[in-house]
Every structure is written in C-alpha cells, then in structure tokens.
Amino acid sequence: MTTIIDGKQLAKALNAQTKTRVAALAAQGKVPGLAVIIVGTDPASELYVRSKHRKAGQLGINSIVRQLPATISQADLLAVVRAYNADPTIHGILVQSPLPNGLDEAAVINAIDPDKDVDGFHPVNVGHLFKNLPGHYPVSCTPRGIMTMLESLQTPLRGKHAVVVGRSNIVGRPMAAMLLNADMSVTITHKYGSNLRALTTTADVLVVATGVTHLIKEADVKPGAIVIDVGMDRDADGKLTGDVDFDAVFDKVHAISPVPGGVGPMTIATLMRQTVDLCEWSDELGNE
C-alpha cells in the first residue's frame, strides 16, 4: 500500500517542537530573531514572505520584514545586510529571491554572516555541507525538510540509490550532498538529461525539482520507490500540481509526497527550526 508523505502533518509536529524550544529560550530571556529582506514588489515573493512572517509569529519568533525599493543600490542593500549582521537580537537573515535586475545576488548572500545564514546559502556553509564536516551550521531548508520527510518513513537509506532531478543551488545540489552524507549512492541529473528515464527508473529514492509539470510519469519510476516532488506548477486548468504525475505513479511506488501539502510546508517549518538553531548556537559562538 502506498504511503502519502503528509508534509502538513510533519510540519505541524516540527512546528510544535520548535515552539517548545522557543518557550525554553524565552525562559532564559532569549527570543530568536529572524530578519527577512525583500526587494521590490514581486507578488509571489510578497506572498511567501508573509507566510514566513505569520508562521514565525505563531511560534514566538521575532520576525522583522524589511521591504526595500526595487531601485535600491547594491551598496545600500549590502549596508542593510551588514546592519543585521551586527544586531545581536537577530539570529537569522534571509534575503528573498529573486532580486531585481542589476543587483548581484551572490554578493548579497556572501555579505550575510555565515552564522546568521538561515537559508544555508553562504559558500562557507555550503562548503561545510559538501565536506560533511562535524559541528553546527545551517543548510538549505528545502533539502533539510526533505530529509526529515524521508526519516519519517523509517526506511533505511544506507546503501540505497538516490536520483536527484534538478541542479539548483537551492534544492538539487544540496539535496545530493545530504543524501550522500546519509550513505546513499547518489546520481544528479536535470530536465535536459538525454538518459533521464534510464536514471530515474534505478532510483530507490527519487527527488524531482525541475518546475516542469508532470515531467515524471509512471514509466519513469522504479516499483517500490520513494518519490519526493519538489515542483510547484500549474496545469492547463490552473490547478496546482507538481513535477510528478501523482495519480499515474501512485500505485507503483512505496511512498510519495503530494503537491500541494508535501515539501512546501516542510520548507517553512525547517526555516523556523533553523532560526531557533541559530539562536541556540549563538551562545556557543559567544554572540550573546
């Protein structure tokens, strides 16, 4: 029988744990602080930022949303980031992407203090992840949330084959690193791969993050596979759907995450979890 990996329920449980941790910090006189910087007025970005801000408030995290004009200069944007770097009440800094044309996103990410890089995008933290170094450091939230989803299945991953379809710095590349760090054999490909089906049909764990509606169909999956759909697309009727044809593959796989209600809620829950992580770790770093 196929298991639906319910991201909403997993996120609810994770948020409850996070809220308990926030309360414990509050008892010590500490409040986790999250600064979210948004540049311009992109509707999708504004919607996503509002959902983050609302969830943070529900959990007791002090969330600050700083909306800046699309005309802001690179220097002024970097100055805002550096001000939050120096603010001891802020433990996590997030710059909502995409940035308007003319702004260097890589330079902005590089300006964030690695110890406040709640998105896990800073090269220092990416390097730690890819080298599988011990210690505390933030990692990309979507892949970390996916790892929590996989762990919820209580299916041994060691020695199994994972295929990641997607090579972005936000999902595909860090996802491959986390799966490799979990002792899996990992293949990474993308939507342009000429041998895509030959790879996906060998996957015990298949993670798809391409933004191509129903790229993966029944013939593209291995019987008994675990399938994680990161896509968030609209079909011809305007219905929210994913990169995987859910109905077509459902009876063939062991477990699958739905869209919506799968990876999305876990990404935001993991962002909140990681904000609290950074607050707790700041004591070890002597930042408070």
Tell me how far apart the alpha carbons of residues 216 and 271 are, in angstroms, rounded to a whole number.
Answer: 28
Q: Please give the helix or strand (H or E) that residue 38 lies within, else none.
A: strand 33-39
Residue positions annotated with a catalytic role: 52, 96, 119
Pairing state between β 205-208 and 92-95 = unpaired
Tell me how far apart the alpha carbons of residues 153 and 15 are, in angstroms, rounded to a whole number.
Answer: 19
For residue 283, the model assigns a pLDDT of 80
Q: What domains can you pick out in the chain, each with its CATH number?
A: 28-115 (3.40.50.10860), 141-264 (3.40.50.720)
Judge whether 61 and 280 are in contact, CB under 8 Å: no
Tokens 């979990």 belong to 182
Tell me how far apart the alpha carbons of residues 48 and 55 are, in angstroms, rounded to a whole number.
Answer: 11
pLDDT tens digit string along 132-167? 999 999 999 999 999 999 999 999 999 999 999 999
Judge whether 96 and 70 are in contact, CB under 8 Å: no
Judge whether 281 and 135 are in contact, CB under 8 Å: no
231 contact partners, CB below 8 Å, separation of at least 6: 208, 209, 210, 211, 212, 213, 215, 241, 242, 243, 244, 259
Q: How many other β-carbons are positioned within 10 Å of the β-carbon of residue 257?
A: 28
For residue 237, the model assigns a pLDDT of 86
pTM, two decimals, is 0.96
Helix intervals (H) in the chain: 7-27, 43-59, 74-85, 105-111, 123-131, 141-152, 172-181, 196-200, 246-249, 263-285
Q: Which residues are annotated as a binding site?
A: 166-168
> What b/e sequence results for 53-90 when a residue is b if at least 16 CB atoms lie within 10 Å of its CB, and e otherwise?
bebbeebbbbbbbbebeeebeeeebbebbeebbeeeeb
pLDDT in tens, the chain (288 residues): 999 999 999 999 999 999 999 999 999 999 999 999 999 999 999 999 999 999 999 999 999 999 999 999 999 999 999 999 999 999 999 999 999 999 999 999 999 999 999 999 999 999 999 999 999 999 999 999 999 999 999 999 999 999 999 999 999 999 999 999 999 999 999 999 999 999 999 999 999 999 999 999 999 999 999 999 999 988 888 889 999 999 999 999 999 999 999 999 999 999 999 999 999 999 876 555
Instruction: Output the six-digit token pair for 214.
Output: 């129903």
Q: Which residues are annotated as a binding site for NADP(+)?
A: 166-168
List beta partners, residue 64.
35
pLDDT tens digit string along 185-232? 999 999 999 999 999 999 999 999 999 999 999 999 999 999 999 999
Judge whether 4 and 242 are in contact, CB under 8 Å: no
Straight-line distance from the first to the last Cα atom of the chain, in angstroms, rounded to the nearest whole number: 50
List beta partners, residue 62.
33
Q: How many other β-carbons are positioned within 10 Å of the β-carbon of residue 218?
A: 14
